[in-house]
């Protein structure tokens, strides 16, 4: 395995491939994404440890969606069992994925803990436990400061874990090393990832604009409220589908030619 440096325009290719692959198997990938969301939601309601458990399962569940995308890109129908691929790869890979999940949970809770220093934990409680988000709450300076601190701290955390599940599962890289390799790959391909993120922001904004235009033509605010959530879920499924291609193009096997 070696790092592959791609041009910045590859970020657009990743977005395009994610959308195209989704529409190759729209029902299968949509269903798997809903199962992914349900798995995380069910884990989060476990008493006492639900939040940490959901966070710890996130890398393994994301790997399952990558594996489903890999199957769909090869013209195959991804079965529901592919979502738990990380738990069927042998004890060594399973143990490594569980360690990776524990590291992610610790890192995310650490981010929330630091943000709590700015508002007494209001933002962290709202994000992790839930609760009403009022205008008065959002306008509080401490809440806004905590939100921005958490956002800024989450960026390096996401870079550490972006490629890590795939490196652990497909390449047998130890968890801590996978974090290092993931961060380096993201930084060395910073231009491509910047274009990738900007393109997805544009796609989500365009999707919202289309829903609002249709709402104005068909049903007003009621239509917009009913259509916005399904549209956001479909776009989120396409986004998660595109993650596989970022990993595929940033790491290649020794002697293997980069994907065109």
Q: Tens digits of per-residue pLDDT, 88-122?
A: 878 888 899 999 999 999 999 999 999 999 988 88
Over its C-alpha atoms, the chain yields an Rg (Å, rounded) of 19
In this predicted structure, the answer to whether residue 12 has a pLDDT above a threshold of 80 is yes
Share of the chain above pLDDT 70, in %: 94
Q: Which residue has the tokens 């550490």?
A: 160
pLDDT above 60 (res 135):
yes
Tokens 């193009």 appear where? Answer: 249
Q: What is the mean pLDDT of residues 168-190?
A: 94
| Over residues 117-145, mean pLDDT | 83
Task: Give the confidence band of 46 by pLDDT, cuts at 50, 70, 90.
Answer: confident
68-72, 81-85, 171-175, 219-223: least confident range? 219-223
The pLDDT of residue 75 is above 70 = yes
On the question of pLDDT at 254 being above 70, the answer is no
Place of tokens 């970022």: 246
Measured distance CA(112)–CA(214) in Å, rounded: 38
Q: What is the pLDDT of residues 192-203, one digit of tens each?
A: 999 999 999 999
> Long-range contacts of range 173-177, CB-CB < 8 Å, 24 or more positions apart?
173/1, 174/96, 175/96, 175/97, 175/99, 175/100, 175/103, 176/103
DSSP letter for 232, please: H
Range 15-42 average pLDDT = 92
At residue 255, the pLDDT reads: 52
């Amino acid at each position: 395995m070696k790092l592959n440096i791609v041009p910045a325009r590859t970020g657009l290719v990743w977005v395009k491939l994610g959308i195209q692959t989704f529409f190759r198997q729209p029902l299968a990938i949509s269903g798997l994404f809903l199962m992914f969301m349900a798995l995380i939601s069910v884990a989060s309601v476990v008493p006492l440890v639900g939040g940490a458990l959901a966070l710890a399962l996130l890398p393994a569940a994301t790997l399952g969606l990558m594996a489903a995308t890999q199957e769909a890109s090869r013209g195959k129908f991804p079965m529901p069992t592919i979502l738990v691929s990380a738990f069927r790869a042998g004890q060594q890979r399973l143990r490594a994925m569980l360690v990776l999940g524990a590291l992610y949970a610790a890192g995310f809770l650490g981010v929330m803990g630091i943000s709590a220093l700015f508002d007494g934990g209001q933002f962290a409680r709202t994000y992790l436990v839930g609760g009403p988000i009022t205008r008065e709450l959002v306008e509080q300076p401490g809440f806004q400061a905590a939100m921005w601190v958490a956002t800024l701290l989450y960026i390096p955390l996401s870079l550490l874990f972006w490629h890590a599940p795939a490196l652990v599962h497909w390449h047998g890289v130890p968890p801590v090393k996978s974090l290092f390799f993931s961060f380096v790959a993201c930084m060395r391909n910073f231009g491509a990832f910047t274009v990738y993120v900007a393109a997805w922001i544009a796609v989500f904004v365009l999707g919202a604009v289309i829903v609002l235009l249709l709402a104005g033509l068909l049903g007003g605010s009621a239509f917009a409220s009913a259509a916005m959530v399904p549209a956001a879920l479909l776009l989120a499924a396409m986004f998660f589908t595109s993650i596989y291609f970022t990993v595929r193009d940033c790491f290649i096997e020794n002697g293997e030619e980069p994907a065109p």
